[in-house]
Amino acid sequence: MTASVGAGSQVSGQLAQRQRAPRTLWGDAWRRFRRHRLAMAASVVLLTMIVICVLGPLVYPPSPTRIDFSKALLPPSAQHWMGTDDLGRDMLARIMLGGRISLAVGIAAMLVAMSVGVLVGATAGYWGGRIDNILMRITDLFLALPVVPLLLLLIFLFRDRLRQLMGPEMGIFWLIIFVIGILNWMTVARLVRGSFLSLKQREFVEAATCIGVSRPAIMFRHILPNTMGPIIVAATLSVGSAIITESVLSFLGLGFPPDTPTWGRLLYDGQNYLAMAPWMVLFPGFFIFLTVLSINFMGDGLRDALDPRQRQ
Amino acid sequence: MGTYILRRLVFAVPTLIGISMILFLILALAPGDPLAQFAADPSVPPEVRENIRRQLGLDDPIHIQYLKWFRSMISGDWGFSFASRAPVASLIWQRLPQTLLVVGSAYVLSVLIAIPIGVLSSIRPYSWFDNIATTFAFVGFSVPTFFTGLVLILVFSVNLRWLPFIYDSTLRVNSFETFILQIKQMIMPVTVLALFQTGAMTRFVRSAMLDNLPQDYTRTARSKGLAERTVIIRHVLRNSLIPVVTLVALGVPTIFSGAIVTEQIFRINGIGELLIKSIQNSDTPVVMAITFIFATLVVLFNLIADVIYGILDPRIRYD
Amino acid sequence: MQRHRNRRTLHLLGLLTILSLLIGACAGPAAPAASGPGAPAAEPVRVGRGVGDTLRILYWQAPTILNTHLATGTKDFDASRLILEPLAAIGPDGSYVPLLVEEIPTVANGGVEDNGRIITWKLRKDVKWSDGTDFTAEDVVFTWQYCADPKTACTTATYFVDIENVEAIDPHTVRVTWKTPRANPYFAFTSTNGRIIQKAQFANCIGEAASTAEECQKANLAPIGTGPYKLVEFKPGDVVTYEINEHYRDPDKPFYKNVIFKGGGDATSAARAVLQTGDTDWAWNLQVEAAVLQQLAEQGGAGDLVIYNTANVERLLINFTNVDPALGDERGQLNHPHPFLTDINVRKALRAAIDNRTIAEQLYGPAGFPTCHLLWYPPYRSGIEEFYSGCEQDLDEANRLLDEAGWVRGPDGVRVKDGMRLSLLFQTSVNPLRQKTQELIKQWWAEIGVETELKSVDASVFFGSDAGNPDNIGHFFADIQMYTTGASEPDAITHLCQWVSSEASQRENEWRGNNNMRWQNAEFDAICEQARASLDPEERRQYALRLNDIINEDVAMIPLVARPRVAGAAKTLKGYNPSGWDSEMWDVANWYSER
């Protein structure tokens, strides 16, 4: 399938959209998305993974936590579909258990990072001048922050309080999403701002301004869809890096309790066994890869679907 | 443009002072103890610890510590490292060559590879070439560097015995043989880093190109009868470069800060390794110097990016 | 942008100790597996100064300073040992070996007087510094003066604070006077902490100048020494290169023309370099997963594991105070006893549920063996049947103890008494081995109806002493914590008596008291007092044994695994004999290669 080279000028495209009822915008988008075969396939894969992680433990018998040294480092077999780890625990069961957290963390942190990044970048790029200068200097500051000491400080300040407030799992979950999100929005902000600087001088923006469209509407309905490409790539990348970053956090003592088998953690725990028991590394790695890949294709489909230049 | 650059440079000074204060505050408040890794005796008497803290200037209030740091930093003195009691500047100078060489060449390499691949992918999206490039790109950045590093070591060092996996920073290139040795010890780390960075960058170039290919000016250029090559390179690529410039500019300062994991795997012991070890040991003067230089580079390269935006797209005005 | 994927390096605490070779032979699994015999049966190789080419040493932590008196890591002490030496080393059997002195002073030869208050060292007359000048008593006196000044802030100051005076009787005789009589008068100027620095080089470096003056900063990175090698180049945090010290006292040593001491990376790849690819001749501290290490050792072909013992024991420490966050400022204070860990039956049950042997064999492999005692090594105990008996896993007994104490299983399997759940917070430092141990223990405790929440803390935070940091071992704001420590000298009294009641870490002493368990035991305190006053070695040994037994009877700590050190040596490397009481490099002058 090719992303059809959109004909029709942006101006007329934008205006045409405005003339239709907003409901059909999403209806059209959904129809276009469904036509994007790769995107549909990717959605099915991602959904399947989520279902497996949530429901799998109910039907797959081996325990994810039971330590049994007599079963250590077994290769994949009928009993243990993805083999066992060095403590004799079933890898698939662990991947399913950890997958719930990793997927949730990856996607939620990506949403936080994208929202902050788009908001900051769009505001800075569109308004320009002093606002741009201030927002971009804040971005500079965040880019320059030393991540590890900052994390240690955050743990020190918030961990015990959140643990008391929401329990060890939920408290840590929100903290992690917040932390990863807050450390990853800067690239998106810079990307969005760059595109905005260039796009806001284009004819279709002038046209929209002329007919009296409000500024937020111009920013988010007219300019933003034209810069979706880089945003979606950045979003895809940040899901993967959030899954990995989560495990880094647990190495600093910020992550989930050490016995939570998140995908990033499984990957790290298995790294020394790469030569001896490759399944300990390959399967969690494959799941991360599959997640990132699916989200990317979904993103591609989403962009084509939302692209104002696409025609019926 | 000239006044714009000047204004930004002037504005950079208070920005950097502000950043330095925040950095200092974070480092001072973050828990951690330079004496935590005490090998000699875990039960060192409190008075000995106190003496050491005093010697390292850790017993002053934070604002005094900051003022002391600021005053000596202006005169070019970055203080001394707690771990080696050597001037911080000399430690950084010692690490810089290997970091610039390895991380820098990986970076240049990945930019040089990513742009043509991204462009070719976008011309025929979802063609076999694009699909292969996409797969490689995703393998590249969803596989962590420690994993690729380990695989390369197992294949090329352990099994084939072609390449060394302990980087020799004392090697001096003064003949053809030593030059070959230097290349050999750089191959694996550069590959690992380039694979990781190329993947991400290829995707950005491709998507930016795809955003611009359906634009009016592209049709106009085509309809004027320009060769497809010219259309792509002169028109589409140029307009697609804004996100690419953003990324490349954001990436340059990270060449200085090094690549922590890769440096550690191959024992390159560059700036990244120095930074992470200093963080682990709460060696504040070193962490402060590296992060502050990094911050300066970030500010500088973001300015450069803004200037390039203006050159690429003359319509962009800063006011 | 590459995230900080910080692979947490493993953390080691404490100094090493070793089995006496005499008694070690009957110490079962404790016997060193493959330490280089000092004397090969026939010596086919040509040994002599400079015969060998280059010795390659690999540490996965890189040295950052070579003046040991300002250093904090084993890596620094070891890299420096090729250059700076103490008057005497401590050999693998715990006995002193003369290096820069004619003989070890004793009461018999008149070197030790006044109940160990005065000790007189006779220096060798043939020792020269690597710059060709003579090594004299003035250098020893200077070393003391250097560290005696609190402004110098020596990290080794512990070894000098109790000295009253050090004086040069003549150029080759030096007398050390302690403030009080001592059971161990050899405490200063020996072993890894007692390096002698050159007066001529450091004369202007006493006090603050030690770290701030340019001249001293240079000296710290390039000390002149009496050791077998001298410095060529030092890149702090990366690599040290050495060449032969032509003024070294033994004309036949050292064997190698050059030494490269490379640092950095991780333990697994260090193990691979020495055991499999032969990229290095010696690799330090191979803390690698048991299965991986065993496979590399068996199939590698290039090197062997070198296992030698230390006094270190991985143990669980039990918190005797209540650290409920609801207490606010009163957390962990002595007037708030722990709600249930003060019940000895609970402590006994926790111990009975743990299988030390499984932890040692499955997780530590060659780097650990099970022990029930902190003092498992000679001259206290010898042989595994002596130190691993009486604490084997017994889940039935554990359940019985808890039943008896009135803890009843609730609907979720967790025991409850008076509305209180038997639920524990168990913390340790971030380290793969420790996290696996935590998970195993959690599983066993679940079987006796105890719920465990695991927590891991970054090592630099966990072992820090920052008064404002609640996550360190001093605050111990958890119910159980786990780490390794052990005596740093053959005599164990000083080490054990850090847990006396008065040492309890409290808010008032900024959580810096050594007794972080806040354990209070009058009998223990009384014996420590007697033991400290005793000067008779046998009597001190008996006291130490009794202290060890009180800890076990009261279940204040639960010893898990005794931890020998594991290094790797190329098959061609010979002559090494590592000592757990001293630096791993203590006998590097004797190392040589067979081709």
| Interval C196-209: pLDDT, tens | 999 999 999 999 89
Q: What is the distance between the alpha carbons of residues B15 and B298, in angstroms, rounded to a whole number?
A: 11
Task: Read off the CATH number of the domain in which C491 is found.
Answer: 3.10.105.10
User: From CA C104, how far away is CA B246, in angstroms rounded?
Assistant: 69
Flag if A2 and B250 touch (Cβ within 8 Å). Answer: no
**pLDDT over threshold 60, residue C458:** yes
Which domains, from first to last, does chain B contain?
Answer: 2-74 (no CATH), 95-312 (1.10.3720.10)
Dihedral angle, C-alpha C174, C70, B45, C551, nearest 10 °: -90
Residue of B142, B210, B244 for testing the chain A interface, max A β-carbons within 10 Å: B142
Residue C39 CB partners (closer than 8 Å, separation 6+): none
Residue C288 is assigned to a structural domain of this protein: no
Per-residue model confidence (pLDDT) at position C566 = 95
Confidence of residue A162 (pLDDT cuts 50, 70, 90): confident
What average pLDDT does this structure show over A215-234?
Answer: 82
In Å, what is the CA distance from A226 to each residue of A14, A295, B208, B233?
11, 20, 10, 21
Count CA atoms closer than 13 A to B286's CA, side-chain side. Answer: 32
Confidence of residue C25 (pLDDT cuts 50, 70, 90): very low
Shortest distance between the Cα of C11 and any Cα of chain B, in A, equals 8
Backbone phi, then psi, for C232, in 5-degree steps? -105, -55
Mean pLDDT of C471-495: 92
Mean residue pLDDT across chain B: 86
CA-wise closest residue to C63 among C211, C241, C182, C225: C241
Give whole-number Cα distances, C553 to C350, C523, C557, in Å.
14, 12, 10
Same domain, C369 and C446: yes
Q: What is the identity of the amino acid at C421? A: R
β-bridge pairing C592-593 and C173-178: unpaired
For residue B211, list chain A residues with Cβ-Cβ distance below 8 A.
226-230
Extract the tokens encoding A268: 């790290």
Rg, Å, chain B Cα set: 24
Nearest CA-CA partner of C146 in C69, C227, C223, C85? C69
How many other CB atoms sit within 10 Å of the CB of residue C117?
17
What DSSP element (H or E) covers C262? strand C256-263
Q: Which chains touch B (3 or more CB pairs under 8 A)?
A: A, C
Instruction: State how far Cα C51 lies from the chain centre.
Output: 34
| Beta carbons of A175 and A154 less than 8 angstroms apart | yes
Residues C73 and C160 in one domain: yes
Task: Name, in order, each residue with C-beta under 8 angstroms of A241's C-beta and a sequence gap of 6 or more.
Answer: A184, C3
pLDDT over threshold 90, residue B289: yes
Confirm or reject contact between B233 and chain C (CB < 8 A): no
- Alpha-carbon gap, residue C575 to C584, rounded angstroms: 13
For A34-56, the pLDDT digits (tens) are 888 888 999 999 999 999 999 98
Q: Is residue C26 part of a domain?
A: no
Minimum Cα–Cα distance from C433: chain A residue: A269
Using the predicted structure, report yes or no on whether residue C575 has a pLDDT greater than 80: yes
How far is the alpha carbon of C410 from chain A, nearest alpha carbon, in Å?
20
CATH of the domain at C86: 3.40.190.10
Higher pLDDT, C562 or C509: C562
Radius of gyration from C-alpha coordinates of chain A? 23
Gap between the Cα atoms of B262 and C113, Å rounded? 58
Q: Does C459 touch chain B (CB under 8 A)?
A: yes
Closest C-alpha to A264, from A87, A73, A101: A101
C106 band by pLDDT with thresholds 50, 70 and 90: very high
Query: A79: which residues sit within 8 A by CB, 6+ positions away?
Result: A62
Q: How far apart, in Å, are the Cα atoms of C143 and each of B75, C154, C220?
A: 34, 11, 14
Q: Does C442 touch chain A (CB under 8 A)?
A: yes
Q: Answer yes or no: is pLDDT of A282 > 80.
A: yes
Give CA C505 to chain center in angstroms.
Answer: 22
Question: Within this chain, do residues C402 and C342 fall inside the same structural domain, yes or no?
Answer: yes
Which chain A residues are Cβ-neighbours of C461 within 8 angstroms?
A: 152, 156, 253
Interchain CB contact of C328 with A (< 8 Å): no
Q: Which chains touch C (3 or more CB pairs under 8 A)?
A: A, B
Give the closest residue to B40 by CA, choosing from A304, C147, A265.
Answer: C147
Copy the structure tokens of residue B160. Answer: 């084939």
Q: How many residues are there in chain A?
A: 312
Give how far A253 is from chain C: nearest CA, Å: 4
Question: Residue B125: what residue type?
Answer: P
DSSP B167: -
HEC string of C268-328 equals HHHHHHHHHHCCCCEECCCCCCHHHHHHHHHHCCCEEEEEECCCCEEEEEECCECCCHHHH
Mutate: best of A250, A252, A267, A288, partner C, most C CBs <10 A? A252
Number of domains into which chain C is organized: 2
Record the tokens describing residue A31, joined without a space: 């129809």
From the CA of B1, how many Å to the nearest CA of chain A? 14
Kindly state the average pLDDT of the residues C133-143.
97
- Worst-scoring range by mean pLDDT, A110-114, C283-287, C297-301? C297-301
Chain pair B-C, CB pairs under 8 angstroms: 231
Of B11, B27, B210, the CB nearest to A229: B210
pLDDT for the residue C123: 97
Q: Is the dihedral of CA C285, B167, B263, B261 positive or negative?
A: negative
Strand residue runs (E) in A56-163: none
**Facing C291 at nearest CB: one of A86, A164, A245:** A86
Query: What backbone torsions phi and psi does residue C357 show, to the nearest 5 degrees?
Result: -65, -40
Quick one: C53 and C164 in the same domain?
yes
What Rg do the C-alpha atoms of chain C give, in angstroms?
A: 25
More reliable by pLDDT, C541 or B32? C541
pLDDT score for B37: 62
Q: Which of B55, B145, B254 sits opposite C151 (nearest CB)?
A: B55
Min mean pLDDT across B21-30, B107-116, C414-423, C547-556 is at B21-30
Give the count of beta carbons closer than 10 Å to the beta carbon of residue C376.
Answer: 27
Same domain, C411 and C539: yes
C570 bridge partner residues: C303
Indicate whether C3 belongs to any domain. Answer: no
Report in angstroms the alpha-carbon separations of B272 from B9, B40, C197. 28, 27, 33
Is B91 in Cβ contact with C192 (below 8 Å)? no
Distance from CA of B30 to the nearest CA of A (A): 4
The residue written with tokens 């000239």 in the block is B2
Distance CA C325, CA C332 (A): 10
Average pLDDT over residues B116-138: 88
User: Do residues C4 and A147 make contact, with C-beta atoms less than 8 angstroms apart?
Assistant: yes
- pLDDT on residue C282: 97
Considering A140-154, B143-157, C230-244, C500-514, the range whose residues carry the highest mean pLDDT is: C230-244
Q: Check CB contact under 8 Å for C291 and A273.
A: yes
The answer to whether residues C335 and C216 belong to one domain is: no
Per-residue model confidence (pLDDT) at position C47:
80
User: Does residue B202 carry a pLDDT above 70?
Assistant: yes
Residues C39 and C56 in one domain: yes
Residue type for position B1? M
**C510 shares a domain with C449:** yes
Share of chain A above pLDDT 70, in %: 88
Those residues with Cβ within 8 angstroms of residue C549's Cβ, 6 or more apart along the chain or in another chain: none
Q: Which of A148, A227, A236 sits opposite B279 (nearest CB)?
A: A148
ipTM over 0.90: no
Task: Note whether C458 contacts A: Cβ–Cβ < 8 A.
Answer: yes
- C-beta atoms of A145 and B208 within 8 A: no
Helix axes B105-123, B176-212, angle to 10 degrees: 40
For residue A293, the SS3 value is helix
Average pLDDT along chain C: 89
Say if C275 is an interface residue toward chain A (CB within 8 Å).
no
Write down the pLDDT at residue A246: 81
C274 within 8 A of C569, measured Cβ to Cβ: yes
Which residue in C251, C438, A132 sits closest to B309, CA to CA?
A132
| Chain B residues within 8 A of A303 when measuring between CB atoms | 207
pLDDT at B198 over 80: yes
Co-location of C577 and C498 in the same domain: no
Q: Chain C partners of A89 at a C-beta cutoff of 8 Å?
A: none
Could you give phi then psi for residue A301, rounded to 5 degrees?
-65, -40
B48 touches C at CB < 8 Å: yes
Same domain, C255 and C321: no
- The rounded distance, in Å, linking the Cα atoms of B286 and C232 is 25
Residue C36 has pLDDT above 80, yes or no: no
Backbone phi and psi for residue A205, each to the nearest 5 degrees, phi listed first: -70, -40
Q: What is the pLDDT of residue A228?
A: 81
Pick from C61, C478, C60: nearest CA to A257: C478
List phi, psi (to 5°) of C283: -130, 135
Interface with B, mutate which of A102, A127, A138, A237 (most B CBs under 10 A): A237
Task: Give the containing element (helix H, strand E) for C263.
Answer: strand C256-263
Q: A87 vs C440: CB contact, 8 Å cut-off?
A: yes
Q: At what angle do helices B2-29 and B62-74 cross, to 10 degrees?
A: 140
Hunting for tokens 């950890």 — which residue is that? A98
Q: Nearest by CB to B299, which of A140, A229, A281? A: A140
Residue C390 and residue C255 share a domain: no
| C441 alpha carbon, distance to own chain's centre | 25
Residue C22 within a domain: no
Q: Does B62 touch chain A (CB under 8 A)?
A: no
> Nearest to residue C73, comparing CAs of B94, B48, B56, B35?
B35
Asked if the A26-58+88-311 domain carries CATH number 3.40.50.1820, the reply is no
Residues A74-98 have a mean pLDDT of: 94
Q: Which residues of A touch C435 (CB under 8 A)?
A: 258-259
One domain, residues C412 and C352: yes
By residue range, what is the domain housing residue C94? 32-261+571-593
What is the per-residue burial (b if ≥16 Cβ within 10 Å, else e) of A219-244?
Answer: bebbbbbbbbbbbbbbbbbbbbbbbb
Residue A116 and residue A126: Cα distance in Å, rounded?
15
Please check whether residue C78 lies inside any domain of the structure. Answer: yes
- Residue C105 scores a pLDDT above 60: yes
